């Protein structure tokens, strides 16, 4: 038997307003793999990500993070398990008045006692981890800069630093480049691909742009009619660009 995938979704179903949005979605992402998920607006990509991260509870189906059944957990057990799943949002979801470092430190909230969070007295090890994450995304010199003074591309890199500080084994990137110019988009997607390979992170990234999916992803899936269609390998051009 081969090693279990880092993320496995089986027969996931979810409805909104009487409409079936997810109709038996199944997919898997291996550790170190970057998988792109294509689909038009309204196809259910965000709903799928909310279910996988357990921000929403699916009607039925299974969600496995390695050997952990996220679908079967509740309360503190679910809270602990969700530390392994980091989410990168289209609109960054940073606290705009706080610094890049403080936003990166937010990735440590699930592993930090409440009193430390309330007093903003993070452990030295947590601060070191957040600074290392900012270094990896190329923003150490901007650690003290307020998020609302940064470019969109910089803000998204802070969001990536946050999931690195969280020490996530699975990263869900929900349209992470929709608000970025082409150069910043390629920088962010290239960074996610590199981090998947360097750290063995399983990355599932929803995109609108077919060409970017084939340029950066190891596999490309499509969400259509509430189901995930069979994946494909990147086009030869994408493979050549990686060489």
Mean pLDDT per 10-residue section of the chain, whose length is 243 residues: 83 89 95 95 91 92 95 92 93 93 90 68 90 97 97 96 95 95 96 97 95 96 89 50 41
Strand, coil or helix: what is 108?
helix
**Burial, 92: exposed, middle or buried (Cβ in 10 Å; 0-12, 13-18, 19+)?**
buried
Q: What is the pLDDT of residue 238?
A: 44
Q: How far apart are CA 165 and CA 19, in angstroms?
A: 37
What class has domain 7-242? alpha beta
DSSP conformational letter for 233:
P
- Other beta carbons within 10 Å of 210: 13
Spatial contact of 128 and 158, defined as CB atoms under 8 Å apart: no
Q: What is the pLDDT of residue 41?
A: 82
Q: What is the pLDDT of residue 195?
A: 96
Instruction: Name beta bridge partners: 222.
Output: 38, 229
Q: What is the pLDDT of residue 234?
A: 57
Backbone phi, psi, residue 200, to 5°: 70, 30
The beta strand positions in 39-169, using DSSP E, are: 60-65, 68-69, 85-88
- The contacts of residue 217 (CB under 8 Å, 6+ apart) are 34, 35, 36, 193, 205, 234, 238
Spatial contact of 69 and 75, defined as CB atoms under 8 Å apart: no
Q: Map out the domains of the chain as residue ranges.
A: 7-242
Q: What is the pLDDT of residue 232?
A: 59
Tokens of 206: 């929803």
Give the residue ranges of DSSP H helices in 107-242. 114-119, 124-136, 152-165, 182-199, 210-216, 236-242
Instruction: Name beta bridge partners: 25.
Output: 12
Q: What is the pLDDT of residue 110?
A: 78
């Amino acid at each position: 038997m081969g090693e279990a995938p880092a993320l496995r979704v089986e027969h996931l179903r979810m409805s909104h307003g009487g409409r079936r949005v997810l109709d038996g979605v199944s997919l898997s992402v291996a550790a170190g793999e970057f998988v792109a998920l294509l689909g038009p607006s309204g196809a259910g990509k965000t709903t799928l990500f909310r279910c996988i991260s357990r921000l929403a509870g699916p009607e039925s189906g299974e969600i496995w993070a390695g050997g952990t059944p996220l679908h079967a957990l509740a309360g503190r057990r679910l809270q602990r398990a969700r530390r392994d799943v980091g989410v990168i949002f289209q609109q960054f979801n940073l606290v705009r008045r706080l610094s890049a470092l403080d936003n990166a430190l937010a990735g440590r909230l699930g592993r930090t006692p409440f009193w430390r969070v309330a007093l903003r007295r993070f452990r030295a090890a947590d601060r070191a981890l957040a600074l290392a994450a900012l270094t990896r995304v190329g923003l150490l010199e901007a650690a003290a800069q307020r998020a609302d003074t940064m470019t969109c591309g910089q803000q998204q890199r802070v969001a990536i630093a946050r999931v690195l500080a969280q020490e996530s084994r699975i990263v869900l990137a929900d349209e992470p480049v929709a608000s970025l110019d082409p150069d910043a988009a390629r920088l962010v997607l290239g960074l996610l691909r590199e981090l998947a390979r360097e750290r063995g992170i399983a990355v599932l990234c929803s995109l609108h742009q077919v060409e970017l999916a084939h340029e950066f992803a190891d596999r490309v899936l499509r969400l259509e009619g509430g189901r995930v269609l069979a994946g494909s390998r990147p086009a030869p051009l994408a493979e050549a660009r990686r060489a």
